């Protein structure tokens, strides 16, 4: 029996129209648009590079293309221009020196449908973006972060106690640490040691975001007109995923927000960023302002928790694989701090090797290997190549931090690359994983402080090594990230033991409070 394909007509006809429109636009190119596009894989007739765009570990493919075509690569799919940036020079020139052109965000249909565009990080460059970023910046600028140091150290000390008790659960302890820090800072909320509902909501929300922006995960991101078709239509099941995510995000933002409002009404005097914002803003008379504040607080928590946790997992991975780096860092801590106390932020300037370890953790396995896409607001020309307005721009962080000219032996974990011959830090202090230009991560200073505190405190009291199997042989570790927007090291075993009885007693001597 012949099978009818009539149900495909609503998809096929609009697709053909999009392709034809693209052909017409190409034919009408004038002026600077007659210049060639940057080099890249050869496009196919009508569909361009639709089937060339990688759907798994895209940063590896783009890095490989960079060696074939150059620092900037152009691809196109059904009229959508995409520019991949594989070098620091190109990223600096385009995303920073020409920030007025390259600071927009592209419209990703699934992000909009699922309402993950509530965050200013995904909003187009404009007045609402400026308002929300300004509000965020007031509490997370560099000189505001010392206000949160006591919270960060308290949570770090609790983390050390947890590691001492059950070192085999280090991944769970890392998640508890990163969640506990940011929840205490933003909401004044003390999380439960396990299965905290607020933490689970944020993790589910970030996981949904990772799915939304994964290349090839949803056909609607390639064929935007599909968003106007009903959910029962074949291939349109994404609508249900979007609806579920909308409900999830509403709970993620609203429940902790209401917790702070209730605490304030009840006279509970607990410091929090959200509490300080609410004291200065009459949200009861402005639902729009309440929504903006709720959105800003929500992204402060969700984004910080995930990236901090994944970066600390990379640190544990690196230390287990490189005991020589552990020994050098511990020697420095012993010489500067001694065995009787734990590091504090005032010690940071006196610990150059530990700082080099900190920088190398971010460089070696960047947990956001492909930065969130930028978009061009107008036509541009770069080194004789035409870049149209509306081009999606992908900074390939992975390729940049593994550029052999910038970082020789880039696959090797080598903190010394950040030190001069005299053992002091060089000027290469920038963490490229935080992004570029006006779209650089607004929460980077809080994240840096949180990660630094955990790194030096752990090194002060623990030894790290590969775990052993039943025969006493090392269990090998693979230094590989998961294929997600925020990557995590693949599961690995790690031996974590107190450096000495003195270190054990130091950890045990810390006050037994709720961490």
- How far is the C-alpha of 423 from the C-alpha of 352, rounded, in Å? 7
CA gap 103, 125 in Å, rounded: 6
Q: What distance in Å separates the CA atoms of residue 258 and residue 260, rounded to the nearest whole number?
A: 5
Q: Which residues contact 169 (CB under 8 A, 6 or more apart)?
A: 162
Burial class (CB in 10 A: 0-12, 13-18, 19+), 483: middle
Residues 6+ apart with CB under 8 A from 499: 330, 460, 461, 462, 463
How far apart CA 279 and CA 208 sit, in angstroms, is 32
CA Rg value for the chain: 25
What's phi and psi for 393, nearest 5 deg?
Answer: -115, 120
Q: Is 327 annotated as a binding residue?
A: no
Cα 126 to Cα 375: distance, rounded to the nearest angstrom = 13
Per-residue tokens: 395: 């900074």
Distance in angstroms (rounded) separating the CA atoms of residues 163 and 178: 14
Which of these, 346, 367, 344, 490, lies nearest to 431 by C-alpha position?
367
Burial class of residue 12 (count of CB atoms within 10 Å of its CB; 0-12, 13-18, 19+): exposed
Helical segments of 322-412, H only? 323-336, 352-364, 397-401
Cβ atoms of 141 and 445 within 8 Å: the answer is yes
> Per the annotation, where are the binding residues?
441
> Per the annotation, where are the binding residues for heme?
441
């Amino acid at each position: 029996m012949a099978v009818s394909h009539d149900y495909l007509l609503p998809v096929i006809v609009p697709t053909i129209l999009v392709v034809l429109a693209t052909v017409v636009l190409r034919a009408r190119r004038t002026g600077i648009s007659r210049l060639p596009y940057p080099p890249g894989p050869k496009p196919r007739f009508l569909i361009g590079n639709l089937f060339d765009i990688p759907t798994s570990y895209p940063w590896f493919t783009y890095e490989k293309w960079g060696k074939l075509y150059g620092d900037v690569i152009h691809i196109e799919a059904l009229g959508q221009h995409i520019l991949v940036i594989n070098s620091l020079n190109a990223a600096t020139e385009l995303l920073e020196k020409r920030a007025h052109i390259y600071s927009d965000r592209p419209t990703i249909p699934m992000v909009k449908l699922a309402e993950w565009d509530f965050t200013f990080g995904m909003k187009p460059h404009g007045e609402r973006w400026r308002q929300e970023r300004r509000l965020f910046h007031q509490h997370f600028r560099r000189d505001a972060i010392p206000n949160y140091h006591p919270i960060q150290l308290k949570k770090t000390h609790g983390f050390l106690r947890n590691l001492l008790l059950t070192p085999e659960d280090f991944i769970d302890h890392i998640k508890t640490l990163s969640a506990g820090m940011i929840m205490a800072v933003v909401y004044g909320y003390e999380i439960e040691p396990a299965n905290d509902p607020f933490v689970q909501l944020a993790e589910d929300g970030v996981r949904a975001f990772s799915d939304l922006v994964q290349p090839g995960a949803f056909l609607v991101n390639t064929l935007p007109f599909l968003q106007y078709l009903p959910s029962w239509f074949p291939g349109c099941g994404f609508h249900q995923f979007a609806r579920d995510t909308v409900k999830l995000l509403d709970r993620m933002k609203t429940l902790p927000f209401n917790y702070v409002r209730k605490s304030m009404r009840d006279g509970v005097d607990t410091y929090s960023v959200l509490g300080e914002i609410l004291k200065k803003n009459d949200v009861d008379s402005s639902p729009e302002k309440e929504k903006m504040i709720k959105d800003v607080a929500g992204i402060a928590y969700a984004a910080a928790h995930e990236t901090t946790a994944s970066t600390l997992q990379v640190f544990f991975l690196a230390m287990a694989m490189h005991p020589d780096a552990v020994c050098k860092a511990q020697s420095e801590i012993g010489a500067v701090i001694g065995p009787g106390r734990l590091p504090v932020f005032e010690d940071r300037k006196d610990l150059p090797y530990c700082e080099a370890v900190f920088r190398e953790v971010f460089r070696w396995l960047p947990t956001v290997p492909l930065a969130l896409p930028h978009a061009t607001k107008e036509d541009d020309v770069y080194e004789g190549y035409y870049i149209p307005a509306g081009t999606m721009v992908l900074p390939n962080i992975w390729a940049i931090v593994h550029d052999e000219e910038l970082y020789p032996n880039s696959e090797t974990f080598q903190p010394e690359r950040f030190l001069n011959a005299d053992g002091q830090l060089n000027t290469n202090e920038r963490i490229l994983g935080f992004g570029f230009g006006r779209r650089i991560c607004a929460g980077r200073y809080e994240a840096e402080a949180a990660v630094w505190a955990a790194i030096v405190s752990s090194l002060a009291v623990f030894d790290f090594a590969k775990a052993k199997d039943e025969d006493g042989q090392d269990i090998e570790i693979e230094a590989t990230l998961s294929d997600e927007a925020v990557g995590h090291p693949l599961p690995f075993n790690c031996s974590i033991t107190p450096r000495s009885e003195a270190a054990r007693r130091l950890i045990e001597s810390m006050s037994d409070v709720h961490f």
